[in-house]
Amino acid sequence: MKMSFRWFGSSDPVTLQKIRQIPGVTGIVTALYDVPVGEAWTQASIAELKQTVEASGLELAVIESVPVHEDIKLGRPSRDRLIDNYSQTIRSLGEAGVPVICYNFMPVFDWTRSELAYPLPDGSTTLTFEDETIRRMDPVKGDLSLPGWDESYTKDSMQQLIDAYKDVTEEVLWSNLAYFLERIIPVAEEAGVCMAIHPDDPPWSIFGLPRIVGNLNQLRRLTEHVDSPANGITFCSGSLGADENNDLLAIIQHFGSRQKLHFAHTRNILRTGPRSFQESSHLSSDGSIDMVRVLEALWENGFNGPLRPDHGRMIWGEQGRPGYGLYDRALGATYLNGIWEAISKTKVNRHD
């Protein structure tokens, strides 16, 4: 396992120098955040990003993410040109030695929460998803001011985009994902890059939009449609764990045993009701997910890829990007490293 940490570039108050001081962290998970969605990333920009990361004494472990343009998800005529651009980005990242690309196929809204700074009894704040609150929101009216979606949309453009999905069923969206995979996975294979799709977050429909990457069967369908070592998943314990029907250990076993588990987000959440949860500390005792069992399953199934603490509370008065403060994620990385070290030594000793 390679402990990694999310970094949002030069504007991120959590600097590479601070990240380097977290014990056990060797990799950076980042992206080019100033490239418009749909445009190919230039080799020069990728090289500059890699050089910046490596100059800090860390390695560029994962690109998260190369966003998929809505026209591809909608199956519009422009998708072939956009997929060509996407393929060129994969080739350029492969030439730069980037091993993993994390991406998603969520319509319109990326990961979504109903509150950014929910107060917890200990004085920290956290991200929450409350189903009733989300149901009352109207994105067209501008009710949203949340992470996980493009705030550059105007009211009219948001209405047009949501209207465009009215006739897009889950099967239509799946067909468009299959079309995309059939074209990019051979490119990734040739480039030596592993594509790791991120599960829908949350793993169910929001605002009436279809979502198709939320459980074992759906993940199996997409990885088996183009059966290649390059076509794998990002295991996200928080996203998948939000649905109590998901067996996280079975998901790890299935994809780990097939070498299709390329990246891991280990986030803990506390389920607070039907389709509702709040993000907790990484400790097993604080959430609904047994993080010790999750990491043990990853170890048992031979996971040796990048893993990062995913989201964190805002603690000790820290200000900044909700879910991406330094302190709680650093504590999470140290906790996860401790679990991994204990499991590794215990398993080795038992084997001996």
Known catalytic residues?
198, 236, 265, 310-311, 324
**How does DSSP assign 184-231, residue by residue?**
HHHHHHHHT-EEEEPPPSSSS--TT-----SSHHHHHHHHHHT--TTE
DSSP 314: B
Asked if 85 contacts 179 with a C-beta cutoff of 8 angstroms, the reply is: no
* E-assigned strand segments in the chain: 2-6, 27-30, 59-64, 100-103, 115-119, 125-129, 194-197, 231-236, 261-266, 269-273, 276-279, 306-309
> Coil, helix or strand for 23?
coil
- Burial class (CB within 10 angstroms; exposed 0-12, middle 13-18, buried 19+) of 131: middle
Smallest Cα–Cα separation from 137: which of 117, 159, 114? 114
